[in-house]
Amino acid sequence: MTEIVMSQTPPILHGPSEKERKYDRQLRLWAASGQAALESANILLVNSGAGTVGVETLKNLVLPGIGRSAIYDDETVTEADLGVNFFLEESSLGKSRSQNLTELLLELNPEVQGSWYPNEDIKSLESLLSSPSVFTVILYTNPIKPEYLSLLESYSQKHKTPLVAIHSAGFYSYFQINLPGAFPIVDTHPDETATTDLRLLAPWPELVGFAKDLTRDIDNLSDFEHGHLPYVVILLHYLEKWKADHGGSCPSTYKEKTEFRSIVQKAARTDNAEGGEENFDEAAAAVLKTLVVPSLPSGLKEVFEYEHAEPAEQKSGFWLIADAVKKFYEKHQSLPLPGKVPDMKAQSKVYIQLQNIYKAKARQDAAEILETVQATPGGEDIDPAEVDLFCKNAAFVKLINATGGKIKRADRLKEVAAQEAVSDEMAEMTLQPLSLLPIYLALQPTAHVSSGDKISADGILEGVAKLVPGAEENERVVQAAHEVARAEGGELHNVAALVGGMVAQELIKIVTKQYIPIDNTCVFDGINSRTQVLRL
Amino acid sequence: MATDAQVFPASEPARWTYLDKIRTRPGPFTNRDLFEGKNVAENMEKMKVLVIGAGGLGCEILKNLSMSGFKDIHVIDMDTIDLSNLNRQFLFRHADVGKSKAEVAANFVMKRVKGVKITPHNCMIQDFDEDFYMQFQFVVCGLDSIEARRWINATLVNMVDEEIEDSYKPLIDGGTEGFKGQARVILPTVTSCIECQLDMHAPRAAVPLCTLASIPRQPEHCIEWAHVIAWENEKPFPKLDNDDPAHINWLYQKALLRAMEFNISGVTYSLTQGVVKNIIPAIAATNSVIAAACCNEALKIASNCAPCLGFPDNNYMMYSGNDSIYTYTFKHEKKDDCPVCGNLARELAVDPAWTLQELIDSFAARPEAQLKKPSVRAEGRTLYMQFPPSLEQQTRPNLEKKLTDLGLEQGQEIGVTDPAFATVSFKFKLKFTKKT
Ligand SMILES: [Zn+2]
């Protein structure tokens, strides 16, 4: 038989294109769809201060091929720039910083378009922001002029553009992502091991029939067949027996499950050459993980319970599909089947049959949801592929920034400061690392202090007192204020590069709508080499 | 806390003004017993430092060190530039494809940053001896190979001479995979070493041969079959070259036909290449994070302007960017039975019914050993030697003998060497899993 197949016409081979080869290592992370999203993104950096962290961010976006990048920067290049910013050179001295940065960044990838401002045509940030080109994301670095910040904030509100603030001073840094509304992600890339959903407690007729056929005469199967029963089939078989002995109910408590596990383990044949059966080992190992009554995952629950801030939002593909999935869940008390079967010891043919049974059920569930979507006004044109993706990932869908701007930022900061203070008091007992909020607090008062101007630790603490009264007394805040004062607004290249890497990762996640971005502030402590994400 | 303390500027004060404010003045966390601001800039300019790897991490490390005030940097890399490097290795351009990574990277940084000298070595780390490594103040590693890491780790630990302070060479090591990575500092013989931490990087479990040969279920099984079995049987080219598209194409085609035969879907050219070359996804952003975390430690080690990882406690930072951002910075404990830096023999669970061959094969798969060409000695007797050929031939008959027939007993110590770690003898203590 092998001969016959081998003599068929070989498939047409097309190796990867030059571009696919160049981007190979990243396409393995976000695929062609992510790459396309990246290539249609248009990003603006409003650069100020020592000016490195934003540029390091752009480097990490130009390399993977972001569509367009623009830099707005008023400064001219100084000696100090050359000591911290790698994308400037001797000949840049005294010239426009935005132009020189742009030119040296664009060298990294000829496929990226870039522009710099102010230039002869567009002389101010205001006129840049009123030009017809719409930005996908805007980054700015502190210290920023207050009037620039208000221009950016109103642009961000008007165009619903994510706005990212970055501050890097000495060993300390933070960045904060302001998303224009609730930000749902479907393609969250959960760990493979987390995604197994076999529905063993609620199998559908095709699966039940398949398992029955294979185990009807289980004791008389040859050693080979017995040793190659897929563990899914083994578990279904012994679950049936268990149910017969337990009034129709499945093992539910931990004790029952371990009892069930030893029943499965003991059913393995040991009088064979190997002295055991791998497939039964796999089955026993899967008992605790797979015999779980499904509950609604927290991410999806948040989606189901979300109240739309504005009616327009409701009409997007994501929300239409989410509504249909919710209806499906209410009707069936289960989510659409993802349809993936993990690898397990089995004969090829049997495994493929099993795989097809799961795939068919997944397709059926997705078709039901698609039908609901299409029956909803506005849902006629939804791409079935979008529905499929949602169904495959339903358990891992995530909503970022769900509470949006419902609480005023100033109040939230006080609230979080109180929480962090409490958890710091317990830190010795809980063995949790100490809060990095003091770093964020100490950087805040310098958000608009230009790099040349010194600000003392006392000056910083006065600023902290205005944000969170009482925090200026906290010893760790005092230390952080001194550390910030030591930098005098200057950047360390390493810290800028490190945070530039993190911000770039986050922007890639936001632009590709893959993986899960932070919600919403990340603080980095370069003295202890660690981060903390806070919702501020 | 004297934030008004004096700044001691470097040779070009205006250029390094931001850096000097930090590295020459103490902050609230600076250890005053170790720190002397006055000499920092000058000392750092004189330090000779070594970078291993000029790839994704290496390019970033060279940039970061030269932007941190180091002026005498050596870099070792034997690789040449490939098109697939250009999405992250930002010191290379399309026209550089095929040239030496070490040389192109060194030249680029020297051209960009005035006053820095970078000496490239287009060769393997194993080409140098201890005298070479002794000249550096510390080593920063950006490698994708666990073997090379273990070799340099063992070499640096071995170089420690308690009498000579200058023989302690800190090793700063970074690694990435996709959105994840880690940065760690190893102070040889003081902190846990790479060998102590080996089980944190367990090798991927191999697919059993019988699955490949007779019951494939996944596209990867078909590709491995083409790679391991079909290639050996048919030898379409004299030697498999993973970088030759014609070779990958041949494997792809074989794998695809096998997948069709078994109704398995999902074999693609890209997957074939990924499986055969064991490709790890890599992006600029993660390299930027990890390389900078390493160089941040380098600056702290060189200047003492802030405490570094490894001293006194935490020595390891794990980073993950898949789901939000999560870092875990902790102390990885030194192991007394570490074959490189410990002095106790490590327990080794073995079945006494095994043959010596089975014992030797097991070393490759054990997360705590990962030795591919082990030679074994016990109580001064050579049980099996891989090299030289004459000794191999002489000891080969032992491979078929059972451990107990070779006189090995419960609790016995054996010594294992491997050509990948010339200087190290791994000590193991046998622990029988069954009664003899
Ligand atoms: Zn060790």
- Pair A99, A126 in one domain: yes
* Superfamily (CATH) of domain B346-432: Ubiquitin-like 2 activating enzyme e1b. Chain:  B, domain 3 (3.10.290.20)
List, for residues B100-126, the tens digit of each pLDDT value: 999 999 999 999 999 999 999 999 999
Per-residue confidence (pLDDT) for residue A201, from 0 to 100 = 95
Q: Determine the Cα–Cα distance for residues B322 and B272; give it in Å rounded to an integer.
A: 25
Interface contact flag, A25 B282, Cβ < 8 Å: yes
- Pair A55, A74 in one domain: yes
- 3-class DSSP state for residue A380? coil
Q: Which of B210, B222, B294, B341 is catalytic?
A: B210
Mean pLDDT across the stretch A474-500? 97
**Per-window interface: B 388-417 vs A, CB < 8 A:** none
Per-residue confidence (pLDDT) for residue A3, from 0 to 100 = 41
The residue among B34 and A309 whose pLDDT is bigger is B34
Q: Determine the Cα–Cα distance for residues B38 and B23; give it in Å rounded to an integer.
A: 10
Report yes or no: B338 and B193 within 8 Å, Cβ to Cβ: yes
Is A357 inside any structural domain? no
Interface contact flag, A83 B64, Cβ < 8 Å: no
Residue A451: pLDDT above 70? no
Rg (CA), chain A: 29
Mean pLDDT across the stretch A133-161? 95
* Superfamily (CATH) of domain B209-276: Ubiquitin activating enzymes (Uba3). Chain: B, domain 2 (1.10.10.520)
Is A273 inside any structural domain? yes
**Per-window interface: B 246-285 vs A, CB < 8 A:** 248-249, 252-253, 256-257, 260-264, 269-270, 273-274, 279-285
Q: Determine the Cα–Cα distance for residues A220 and A226; give it in Å rounded to an integer.
A: 9
B78 CA distance to ligand 1 centroid (A)? 27
List, for residues A489-533, the tens digit of each pLDDT value: 999 999 999 999 999 999 999 999 999 999 999 999 999 999 999
Per-residue confidence (pLDDT) for residue B235, from 0 to 100 = 93
CATH code of the domain occupying B17-202+282-330: 3.40.50.720
- Pair A319, A381 in one domain: yes
Considering only CA atoms, which of B354, B400, B359 is closest in space to residue B376?
Answer: B359
Kindly indicate the confidence band of residue A409, based on its pLDDT and cuts at 50, 70 and 90: confident
List, for residues A382-393, the tens digit of each pLDDT value: 999 999 999 999
Q: How many angstroms separate the Cα of B276 from the Cα of each of A107, B145, B221, B222?
A: 33, 16, 11, 11
Per the structure, the complete domain to which residue A220 belongs is given by 198-290
Per-residue confidence (pLDDT) for residue B1, from 0 to 100 = 47
Residue A2: pLDDT above 50? no
* H or E segment and range at residue A14: none
Indicate if B338 belongs to the active site.
no
Is A256 inside any structural domain? yes
Measure CB to CB from residue B84 to each of A24, A171, A188 and give the nearest one.
A24
- 3-class DSSP state for residue B239? coil
Q: Determine the Cα–Cα distance for residues A518 and A536; give it in Å rounded to an integer.
A: 11
Mean pLDDT across the stretch A52-60? 98
Q: Determine the Cα–Cα distance for residues A478 and A468; give it in Å rounded to an integer.
A: 13
Per-residue confidence (pLDDT) for residue A288, from 0 to 100 = 94
Q: State the ipTM, two decimals.
A: 0.95
Evaluate if pTM is beyond 0.80.
yes
Residue A203 tokens read as 């199998």
B191 CA distance to ligand 1 centroid (A)? 8
Interface contact flag, B94 A504, Cβ < 8 Å: no
Per-residue confidence (pLDDT) for residue A5, from 0 to 100 = 45
Is A175 inside any structural domain? yes
Residue segments in chain B with a per-residue pLDDT below the cut of 50: 1-3
B365 CA distance to ligand 1 centroid (A)? 19
- Pair A286, A305 in one domain: no
Residue A530 tokens read as 């660690």
Considering only CA atoms, which of B108, B184, B182, B115 is closest in space to residue B153?
Answer: B184
List, for residues B261-313, the tens digit of each pLDDT value: 999 999 999 999 999 999 999 999 999 999 999 999 999 999 999 999 998 78
Q: Determine the Cα–Cα distance for residues A374 and A378; give it in Å rounded to an integer.
A: 8
Max CA pair span of chain B: 76
Q: How many angstroms separate the Cα of A381 from the Cα of each of A326, B202, B207?
A: 20, 47, 44
Residue B413 pairs in a beta bridge with B429
> What are the extents of the domains in chain B?
17-202+282-330, 209-276, 346-432
Q: Determine the Cα–Cα distance for residues B176 and A371; give it in Å rounded to an integer.
A: 43
Burial of A429 (0-12, 13-18, 19+ CB in 10 A): exposed
Q: Determine the Cα–Cα distance for residues A195 and A342; give it in Å rounded to an integer.
A: 9
